[in-house]
Structure 1
Amino acid sequence: MTLRRLQPPGWPVPKGYANGMVGQGRVVLVGGQVGWDAEGRFPAGLVAQVEQALRNILAVLAEAGGGPEHIGRLTWYVTDIAEYRDSLAALGPAYRGVMGRHFPAMTLVQVAALVEPEARVEIEATAILPD
């Protein structure tokens, strides 16, 4: 089973994400992961926290036997949209370093705060694994 991107005819092709994904199998829901390591330490900066949050998602997903190719949706919550925009050049390589060239449907929103005061980002994932 593989996920398939959904791209309506005539729509511009999005860069770095998909408009939608479709697949069939076991659904894995990964709660919002922040960018701390196994000891609860946060690296400095948004890009490093994004990398760690994505690694954390993959660690949880691996418990179900999945990998990045099974992720159908990511929802990102950032505390500073300007910081996110200013970091785009570095975020692309950081994302690909963890997720490869898999770009699921994604949403990113700014929030006033996250539960962990040091967190700059929290990311949740929906994955579909083969039966």
Structure 2
Amino acid sequence: MQHFTRSAGAPPVNGYSHAVTFNGPMVAVSGQVPVDGDGNLVGKNDAEAQVRQVYANLSTALRAAGTDLAHVVKLTVYLTDLGDLAAFRRVRDEHQDAERPPACSLVQVAGLVQPDFRVEIEAFAEVPEPR
């Protein structure tokens, strides 16, 4: 995997790469929302708790597909309130290598499938070859 965090002439970044290249199999992870394994909402009015649960769900899905957060090449983040951006960045930075961040898009949306959801994140990841 090769990360192009800030190529010559590209604008500054904050925790993401402008592009990421990789070889081998890829997995697409559906948008993950802040519900636990029993389907219960986590952190009704707490953006950081919701982002933490979403990252836990991403990790679970990636692990099932034979990979992990270190191999994520692209995230798409949906926030219902851009005031939650700082909470997202805090949690994101705990889960990714600052030297090798994935490409990322962040979109503010009017709402998600459940009105109490504040965040949804989908991912594309490289599936490393077994060693």
TM-score, with length taken from structure 2:
0.84
- The answer for unaligned runs of 5 or more in structure 2 is none
Structure 2 partner of 1:105: 103
Q: 1:95 aligns with which of 92, 95, 106?
A: 92
Structure 1 partner of 2:13: 14
Q: How many residue pairs are counted as aligned between the two chains?
A: 125
Counterpart residue identity of residue 78, structure 1: L
CA drift at 1:74? 0.4
Partners of 1:51 and 1:98 within 8 A in 2: no
Counterpart residue identity of residue 25, structure 1: G
Does 2:34 correspond to 1:32? Answer: no
Distance 1:69 1:62, change over 3 A: same
Partners of 1:55 and 1:98 within 8 A in 2: no
Counterpart residue identity of residue 26, structure 1: P
CA drift at 1:48? 1.1
Does 2:5 correspond to 1:4? Answer: no
Distance 1:45 1:104, change over 3 A: same
Structure 2 partner of 1:51: 52
Q: Distance in 2 between the 1:49 and 1:35 partners?
A: 5
Q: Distance in 2 between the 1:108 and 1:92 partners?
A: 11
CA drift at 1:98? 3.4
CA drift at 1:103? 1.9
Partners of 2:18 and 2:103 within 8 A in 1: yes
CA drift at 1:10? 3.1
Structure 1 partner of 2:61: 60
TM-score, with length taken from structure 1:
0.84
CA drift at 1:130? 2.3
- The answer for unaligned runs of 5 or more in structure 1 is none
